[in-house]
Amino acid sequence: MNLKVTAEESKRQLRSIPHQTCFKAIDKHWLLNEDGTIKAQSVLWLFCWAKTGQSSDHARQVAARIFDNIMPISFEKLNMVLDHEYARKQRASKRNIEEEFDRLIRPVMSN
């Protein structure tokens, strides 16, 4: 999945999420593939922040806004087809989940 902004800009925006746990995890979880696309696990990591904010409604709102700013799909559309439990389990997966993730989101990517 391609970002709508540069990788540097995406990190700058992510650093504005008002939650220390998120801030400390950015370098570990916000990763690019060799071709410059964002890893599916990273999309899922941000999706989880936009979904719950780790019990902070303000962090959740900011994460959802940033998701919409930097991703080619809105958080709202992704939320229609993506199960939160799946996202929680797969965001730390060590295996290649790119094709699986693409199949899951395909129904809302063309809209």
- Could you report the per-residue pLDDT of 67-108, keeping only the tens digit for each? 999 999 999 999 999 999 999 999 999 999 999 999 999 988
Domain membership flag for residue 78: yes
Give the CA distances from residue 52 to residues 3, 22, 32, 87, 96, in Å, rounded to whole numbers and listed in that order: 22, 12, 23, 12, 25
- Could you report the per-residue pLDDT of 11-70, keeping only the tens digit for each? 999 999 999 999 999 999 999 988 989 999 999 999 999 999 999 999 999 999 999 999
Distance CA 19, CA 110 (A): 33
Q: Is residue 95 a contact partner of residue 43, using CB atoms and an 8 Å limit?
A: no
pLDDT at 109 over 90: no
Domain membership flag for residue 59: yes
Domain membership flag for residue 15: yes
Domain membership flag for residue 25: yes
Determine the structural domain holding residue 43 and report its residue range. Answer: 7-109
The pLDDT assigned to 36 comes to 86
pLDDT at 111 over 80: no
Q: Is residue 59 a contact partner of residue 22, using CB atoms and an 8 Å limit?
A: yes
Domain membership flag for residue 2: no
Domains contained in the chain, number: 1
pTM of the model: 0.95
Residue 72, classed as helix, strand or coil, is coil
